């Protein structure tokens, strides 16, 4: 299934088609301030707390089960009562602030549930001689590292649509109908192979995920995420308010993972300095739909840029579509051509045609092609 991305006619679009770039945006770069943003909350579940306390830490040195009676149901119940239903914003809030807010109560709970007998390894024996207050502090640090697993991913996204002829999208995301829509191919499993460097041979598969439009709070369960991973967070970040449903969005996610144990000690979320730009294969671009107000000079520039790339990637043909804005306010494709990317000289002894070779697509074959690409349009509109 092809996916469509709207572009303004600027340097970012030109980089996207020349270098096969896809840029993954952070929350502060999106036009919806609630996008890639949710509320983390503590569930009311003693069973989840019991499961969490039995998890092995990332580093053996952080394991303090020999100090704390983690099987004690009263301990589990008190932790649940202390945190249940408290929440914080995924962007402006902090798990560590929430834990510190309950710091004194946590220390009291841990102090009351320390083991009386030492059960650790020989190299941990020194901890058994520590004062009760120090042992409680160690338990707090251990719990913080476990809970930090719930927030050790930062999500970034790149947006596509399955609706390439939406006039609101053309007006908003394509500079008032002057831009373009790029048609991207995907595998049968609706994924695309992306690489961190344009010259990399290997890459990673990223799935196109459909956005759900629901007027409801986006909430991420902390205990489930700490135990099971980032799936629940990703689910929340695929939700947007219903008034955005005209976008018919699908998105790719990139998640940056931090070291939960180290981060819990520093209490600062570390972010990467690496550019969030990934690269697809040249032939993943099936074609381009030009906006009704896109000028001929720019169309030619786009055509030649794609042609130049294709000549270094097997000369696979691509499609160029022209559109019109009807009196009813609809965007319709009225003409199309196939850039055949010829490899043979036009005449013996002459170079390959510099502008390629176009094949005009007639009305009948255009309807067939649009159906294959999943593009539906109103044939009764008046230009």
CA 138 to chain centre: 36
* Domain C-terminal end among 133, 151, 169: 151
Q: Is residue 288 domain-resident?
A: yes
Question: What is the rounded CA–CA span in Å between residue 270 and residue 257?
Answer: 9
Residue 351 lies in a domain: yes
Q: Of 244, 339, 324, whose CA–CA distance to 286 is shortest?
A: 339
- Flag whether 215 is in a domain: no
Distance CA 232, CA 234 (A): 5
Residue 243 covered by a domain: no
Q: Give the pLDDT of residue 251.
A: 97
Q: What is the dihedral of CA 173, 179, 184, 190, to 10 degrees?
A: 10
Does residue 24 sit within a domain?
A: no
Final residue of a structural domain among 93, 123, 151:
151
Give the number of domains in the chain. Answer: 2
In a domain, 29, yes or no: no
Q: Domain span at residue 83? A: 40-151
Residue 68 lies in a domain: yes
The pLDDT assigned to 348 comes to 64
Pick left, alpha or beta for residue 257 (phi over 0 → left; psi -120 to 50 → alpha; otherwise beta): beta
| 329 and 378 Cβ atoms separated by less than 8 Å | no
Per-residue pLDDT, 267: 64
Asked which of 132, 151, 170 is the last residue of a domain, the reply is 151
Core vs surface per residue 223-237: b (16+ CB within 10 A) or e: bbbbbeebebbbebb
In a domain, 272, yes or no: no
Count Cβ atoms within 10 A of the Cβ of residue 197 and give its class: 0-12 exposed, 13-18 middle, 19 or more buried. exposed
Strand 21-23 with 277-279, pairing:
antiparallel
Query: Per-residue confidence of the chain (383 residues) as pLDDT tens digits?
Result: 899 999 999 999 999 999 999 999 999 999 999 999 999 999 999 999 999 999 988 777 677 777 888 999 999 999 999 999 999 999 999 999 999 999 999 999 999 999 877 666 666 666 777 888 998 998 998 899 899 999 988 899 999 999 999 999 999 999 999 999 999 998 778 999 999 998 888 899 999 999 999 999 999 999 999 999 989 999 999 999 999 999 999 999 998 887 766 776 666 666 666 679 999 999 999 999 999 999 999 999 999 999 999 998 999 999 999 999 999 999 999 999 999 977 765 556 666 667 888 999 999 999 999 999 999 886 555 55
Distance CA 282, CA 271 (A): 30
This prediction has a pTM of 0.88
Which residues have CB under 8 Å from 204's CB, separation 6+?
193, 194, 195
């Amino acid at each position: 299934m092809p996916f469509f991305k709207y572009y303004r006619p600027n340097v970012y679009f030109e980089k996207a088609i020349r270098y096969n770039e896809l840029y993954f945006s952070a929350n502060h770069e999106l036009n919806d301030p609630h996008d890639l943003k949710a509320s983390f909350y503590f569930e009311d579940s003693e069973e989840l707390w019991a499961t969490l306390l039995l998890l092995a830490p990332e580093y053996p040195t952080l394991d303090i089960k020999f100090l704390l009676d983690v099987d004690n149901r009263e301990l589990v119940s008190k932790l649940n009562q202390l945190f249940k239903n408290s929440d914080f914003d995924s962007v402006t809030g902090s798990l560590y602030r929430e834990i510190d807010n309950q710091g004194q109560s946590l220390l009291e709970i841990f102090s009351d549930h320390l083991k009386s007998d030492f059960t650790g390894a020989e190299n941990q024996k020194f901890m058994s001689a520590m004062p009760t207050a120090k042992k409680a502090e160690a338990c707090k640090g251990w719990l913080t590292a476990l809970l930090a697993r719930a927030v050790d991913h930062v999500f970034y996204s790149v947006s596509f649509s399955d609706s390439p002829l939406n006039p609101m999208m053309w007006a908003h995301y394509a500079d008032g109908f002057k831009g373009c829509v790029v048609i991207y191919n995907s595998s049968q499993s609706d994924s695309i192979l992306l690489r961190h460097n344009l010259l990399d041979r290997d890459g990673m598969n990223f799935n196109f995920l459909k956005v759900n439009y629901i007027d409801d709070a986006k909430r991420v369960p902390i205990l489930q995420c700490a135990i099971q991973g980032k799936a629940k967070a990703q689910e929340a970040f695929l939700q947007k308010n219903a008034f955005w449903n005209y976008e018919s969005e699908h998105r790719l996610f990139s998640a940056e993972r931090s070291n939960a144990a180290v981060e819990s000690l520093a209490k600062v979320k570390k972010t990467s300095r690496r550019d969030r730009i990934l690269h697809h294969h040249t032939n993943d671009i099936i074609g381009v739909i030009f906006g009704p107000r896109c000028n001929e000079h720019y169309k030619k520039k786009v055509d030649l840029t794609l042609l130049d790339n294709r000549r270094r990637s097997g000369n696979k043909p691509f499609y160029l579509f022209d559109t019109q804005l009807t009196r009813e306010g609809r965007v319709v494709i009225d003409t199309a051509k196939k850039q055949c990317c010829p490899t043979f000289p036009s005449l013996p002894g002459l170079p390959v045609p510099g502008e390629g070779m176009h094949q005009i697509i007639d009305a009948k074959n255009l309807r067939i092609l649009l159906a294959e690409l999943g593009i539906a349009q109103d044939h009764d509109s008046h230009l």
